Amino acid sequence: AQTVTQSQPEMSVQEAETVTLSCTYDTSESDYYLFWYKQPPSRQMILVIRQEAYKQQNATENRFSVNFQKAAKSFSLKISDSQLGDAAMYFCAYRSAGGTSYGKLTFGQGTILTVHP
Amino acid sequence: GAVVSQHPSWVICKSGTSVKIECRSLDFQATTMFWYRQFPKQSLMLMATSNEGSKATYEQGVEKDKFLINHASLTLSTLTVTSAHPEDSSFYICSAPVQRAAKTQYFGPGTRLLVL
């Protein structure tokens, strides 16, 4: 079974600064997907960024980028130029690329991000 | 983009009653939907996988007689909490994978259940 670990229960950052959220995972599979989801106070889950394991290039989405280290099974999220609206709980998630567990997500424990003005 | 809705958004019920939560995919068909449970400031815990036209698959430790799941059509899955007790109070979220959207998954807005 796959596991996802987020070792930072809480993080804080000043507005306009950069912050990195950590995530490690454990799997014996070679093909999978990794995600970062954001859950603001409304509790609506929002996809932030996605990484396919077979791609070596790190994914980027505007101010959000990841550092994907497949051998180390590490998948960190960097938020640049942090904004007040970035304040939320962030979840790292793993998904197998196929098989009987298709579509099933395994989530990390979450990291609460506070942005200070 | 793909949208998933849930109804109701919040519900209060008395202990011993049953509560039904609906999850709908609004602009796409979902042969599979997932139901999660989330406690405050904690992660999402997968409860079960809802499959259209067949029985749901429950995660270990989830009581299938307690949490009844019916995938009535390609756009609707329901979760019924039977004989609810205060410990069933939680935030319930459904999601559906979207094939055409590069294998991403869309989440409903969640349902807050309070059992008195």
Those of residues 47-106 in A touching chain B at CB distance below 8 A are 47, 50, 89, 91, 95, 102-106
**DSSP letters spanning chain B:** ---EEEE-SEEEE-TT--EEEEEEESSS--SEEEEEEE-TTS-EEEEEEEETTS--EEPTT--TTTEEEEEEETTEEEEEE-S--GGG-EEEEEEEEETTTTTEEEE---EEEEE-
Chain B residues touching A104 at Cβ < 8 A: 34, 46, 49
What mean pLDDT do residues A19-29 have?
Answer: 96
| Whether the Cβ atoms of residue B50 and residue B74 lie closer than 8 Å to each other | no
Sign of CA dihedral B62, B94, B109, A35: positive
Which of A8, A31, A38, A43 should be substituted to probe chain B, the one whose Cβ sees the most B Cβ atoms within 10 Å? A43
Side chain identity at residue A24, one-letter code = T
pLDDT tens for B66-77 read 999 999 899 999
Q: State the Cα–Cα distance between residues A110 and A88, nearest whole angstrom.
A: 10
The torsion angles phi and psi of B112, rounded to 5 degrees, stand at: -95, 120
Q: Mind telling me how many Å the CA of B98 is from chain A's nearest CA?
A: 9
* Among candidates B42, B102, B105 on the partner chain, residue whose Cβ is nearest the Cβ of A105: B105
Q: Mind telling me how many Å the CA of A22 is from chain B's nearest CA?
A: 15
The torsion angles phi and psi of B86, rounded to 5 degrees, stand at: -50, -35
CB B68: neighbour CB atoms within 10 A?
Answer: 16
Q: Which residue of B lies nearest to A112 if distances are taken between CA atoms?
A: B41
Average pLDDT taken over every residue of chain B:
92
pLDDT tens for A85-105 read 999 999 999 998 876 556 789
Chain A residues touching B34 at Cβ < 8 A: 103-105
CB A42: neighbour CB atoms within 10 A?
Answer: 10
* Among candidates A42, A105, A112 on the partner chain, residue whose Cβ is nearest the Cβ of B41: A112
- Residue listed under structure tokens 């609810």: B84
What mean pLDDT do residues A97-116 have?
Answer: 86
pLDDT tens for A43-88 read 999 999 999 999 989 999 999 999 999 999 999 999 999 999 999 9
Residue A42's alpha-carbon distances to A87, B39, B77, B97, B110, in angstroms, are 11, 14, 22, 21, 9
- Residue listed under structure tokens 């987020």: A6
Which of B10, B33, B44 should be substituted to probe chain A, the one whose Cβ sees the most A Cβ atoms within 10 Å? B44
Q: Mind telling me how many Å the CA of B18 is from chain A's nearest CA?
A: 24
Chain A residues touching B46 at Cβ < 8 A: 104-106
Chain A residues touching B110 at Cβ < 8 A: 43-44
pLDDT at B100: 53
Mapped to the 3 state alphabet, what secondary structure does A100-117 carry? CCCCCEEECCCEEEEEEC
Which of B107, B111, B112, B113 should be substituted to probe chain A, the one whose Cβ sees the most A Cβ atoms within 10 Å? B107
Q: Which residues pair with A4 in a beta bridge?
A: A25
